[in-house]
Structure 1
Amino acid sequence: MIQRPKKITEIHSGYVQEQELQQKVLAKRKRGLYRRLTVFLTVFSFLAFFVVSTIASQLSTIDEQKQEEKELQQELKTVRKEKEQLKDEVNKLNDVEYIGEILRRDFFMSKPGETIFKLPESKSD
């Protein structure tokens, strides 16, 4: 069996031309849609990156501030303890007996009729 080439002729009617024009318009709309979606996704990606980076930097700043707060709380405890010790020292320095004890111990002063003996310090090996 021998096949004969078939001739295909195109119909140049208004309907066919209108269908081709509609297909071209639809293809153009699809390209426009894809471009708009690409631009939208790009802008959205940049905004999402900006928001995430801002949140991350704020979290790190909060962590640093919490660490600084802990350090300052510890320093506050130390200062309060030192303040209490200084108050005790002031109260003791207002006591005449305590002052007399310091004078006898550090400056070798004595009460009237009292004799002070300095003993050599013992060396422990």
Structure 2
Amino acid sequence: MKNDKTVTRMQNRYIKDTQTKKKIKNRRRVALARRLSGLAIILAIVFGALFFTYTKQALLLQEKKAEKVKTEQKLADSKKEEKALKGQINKLHDDDYIAKLARSEYYLSKEGEIIFNTPTENEKKKTSAN
């Protein structure tokens, strides 16, 4: 004789309800996992976009600051040049300065005056180096 030990499950209302509850619980768990993973993906995309935008803006700000420093330096140089040019204009209103400038730059002289050219420091260095 065969020793069959097969067990049949009872098919009553309680068992069916318990199995249905387990299936519903599993479906809810799977649905929750899918929603959470979808939310995680969306959050990762949003944070990635925010990080990219922040980095881009930070680099742009750094470039603008460097440009500002350069522009401020140019402005300071221009103001120095303007001040020097205004000083030159004021000096050019003086007749004695104009006469001295004409004598030194253009070798002009007064009546009976003799001009001697003396070597400048650059010319002295060139001749002493040879």
Range of TM-score over shorter length: 0.7 to 0.9
Query: Displacement of 1:76 after TM fit?
Result: 1.1
Please give the TM-score of this superposition, normalised by the length of structure 1.
0.87
Q: Where in structure 2 are the equivalents of 1:1-125 lying within 5 Å?
A: 6-111=5-110, 113-119=111-117, 121=119, 124=124, 125=128
Any unmatched runs of 5+ in structure 2?
none
Cα distance between partner residues in 1 of 2:46 and 2:117 = 82
Length, aligned pairs only: 121
Partner Cα separation in structure 2 for residue 115 and residue 8 of structure 1: 139
Q: CA separation in 2, counterparts of 1:59 and 1:17?
A: 62
Ranges in structure 1 where 5+ consecutive residues have no aligned partner: none
Shift of 1:115: 1.6
- Work out whether residues 108 and 116 of structure 1, in 8 Å CA contact, stay in contact via their aligned partners in 2: no
User: 1:9/1:108 Cα in 2 relative to 1: closer, same or farther (>3 Å)?
Assistant: closer
Distance 2:118 2:51 in 1: 73
Q: Describe the superposition over 1:8-60 as per-residue Cα deviations: whole angstroms up to 9, x where unpaired.
A: 22111011011111111111111111111111000000000001111111111
Higher helix share: 2
Counterparts of 1:101 and 1:28, CA distance in 2 = 103
Identity across matched positions, percent: 25
The separation in 1 between residues aligned to 2:33 and 2:86, in whole angstroms, is 78
Structure 2 CA distance for aligned equivalents of residues 10 and 120 of structure 1: 126
Provide the C-alpha distance between the structure 2 equivalents of 1:7 and 1:80, rounded to a whole number of angstroms. Answer: 104
CA root-mean-square deviation: 1.8
Instruction: Decide whether aligned partners of structure 1 residues 13 and 119 sit closer, same or farther in structure 2, where only a CA change above 3 A counts.
Output: closer
Question: C-alpha distance in 2, partners of 1:120/1:48?
Answer: 76
Quote the Cα distance in structure 1 between the aligned partners of 2:118 and 2:81: 34
TM-score w.r.t. length of structure 2: 0.84
